[in-house]
Amino acid sequence: MNASGVHCTSAQEIQEVLNSDSLGAVSKSMTIEARQGNPKPRYWDDSKVSINSMGLPNHGLEYYLQAAQQIQKHDDQLFWLSVAGLNLEGNFDIFKKINSIQSIDAVELNLSCPNLPDHPIIAYNLPEFERMLKSVLDVSEKPVGVKLPPYFENAQFDSVAKILNQYPIDFITTINSIPNALVVDIASESTVITPKNGYGGIGGPFIKPTTLANINQFHLRLEDRIAIIGCGGIQNGSDVFEHILCGASAVQIGSQIAFEGLSCFQRIQNEFQQIVNQKKYSQISDFRGKLKRIAPQETPQPRFNY
């Protein structure tokens, strides 16, 4: 899949992504009202890392409800809306509108955006996180998923998984970009993006270890009925294999689209298929979530006694 927000602002971009035969689904981040997003420059990348503070630029709910009815997709492709939680208070009836559009296959509740000034990441406030999740599930008739920020402590994974296991959600997406990062241009002695005084979310290959850890931590804690979509640091087929080995059932690609364009989907798919063939796996379930652990080695005895 594409990562929500990447190459999907317009109906034309959404269709371009769907036209990639190697793609299984398209996800689009949106808010109720249209947003221009944060001031530019708001995105920067090199071959190893990207930093962004996009601020959820999008055309608003009504635009994407219409776009969903116009796009052409294969029977085995999915289209879903990733709805940002920043202005949902009192507006949960928007999910009733989404319910009526047959071509929208699922809804993702995005409670993890790190790039909105004066809007803290909701998924770090667990009581608010649970309240908003329950409110959406009460009204949505579509499959529901949750887009999560990165977590870093075992206690956080325990607490979030306990909440998720209590509710009939279908999937999680992990991770959103790592928040509150800073990239410096040494020539100009300046930040490389404008919003939030130059602070933004980090993506690209640099974040893959954090992504793999979050996938695996949730794989060990979540009920099997909750699928995990891995998102972060995918450049090639090996990265896809690692995501699935750690527990993902699907993957999203973001920064690599900016680096390479939509052709990256087919290349990565081919590379991944070669790895699966070489390992003689016939289906994803043969290796999904089956990450092995290195056994502890015996402590070597000292050569001399003092």
Q: Per-residue confidence of the chain (306 residues) as pLDDT tens digits?
A: 999 888 999 999 999 999 987 788 999 888 888 999 999 999 999 988 999 999 999 999 999 999 999 999 998 999 999 998 776 766 787 888 999 999 999 999 999 987 777 778 999 999 999 999 999 999 999 999 999 999 999 999 999 999 999 999 999 999 999 999 999 999 999 999 999 999 999 999 999 999 999 999 999 999 999 999 999 999 999 999 999 999 999 999 999 998 899 999 999 999 999 999 999 999 999 999 999 999 888 776 666 665
Give how far Cα 304 sits from Cα of 10, 284, 298, 299, 300, Å.
Answer: 71, 51, 17, 15, 12
Distance CA 8, CA 233 (A): 19
Reference 223, options 295, 177, 278, 171; nearest CA is 171
| Structure confidence at residue 87 (pLDDT) | 67
Q: Which of 8, 113, 231, 246 is catalytic?
A: 113
Q: Provide the greatest CA pair distance for the chain.
A: 80
Give how far Cα 231 sits from Cα of 103, 109, 297, Å.
Answer: 24, 15, 33
| Structure confidence at residue 166 (pLDDT) | 98
Backbone torsions φ then ψ of 30, nearest 5 degrees: -155, 160
First to last CA, the chain: 61
Backbone torsions φ then ψ of 259, nearest 5 degrees: -65, -45
Distance CA 232, CA 178 (A): 10
Residue type, 186: I
Distance CA 124, CA 112 (A): 8
Helix (H, G, I), strand (E, B) or coil at 274: helix
Distance CA 112, CA 147 (A): 6
Cis peptide bond prior to 253, omega within 30° of 0: no
Tokens 């809306």 correspond to: 81
Identify whether 113 is a catalytic site residue: yes
CA angle 18, 23, 24 (to 5 degrees): 100
| Structure confidence at residue 73 (pLDDT) | 92
Strand partners, 191: 184
| Structure confidence at residue 268 (pLDDT) | 96
Q: Which residues contact 277 (CB under 8 A, 6 or more apart)?
A: none
What pTM was computed for the model? 0.93
Tokens of residue 223, six digits:
């009920």
Reference 221, options 254, 181, 174, 179; nearest CA is 174
Strand partners, 144: 107
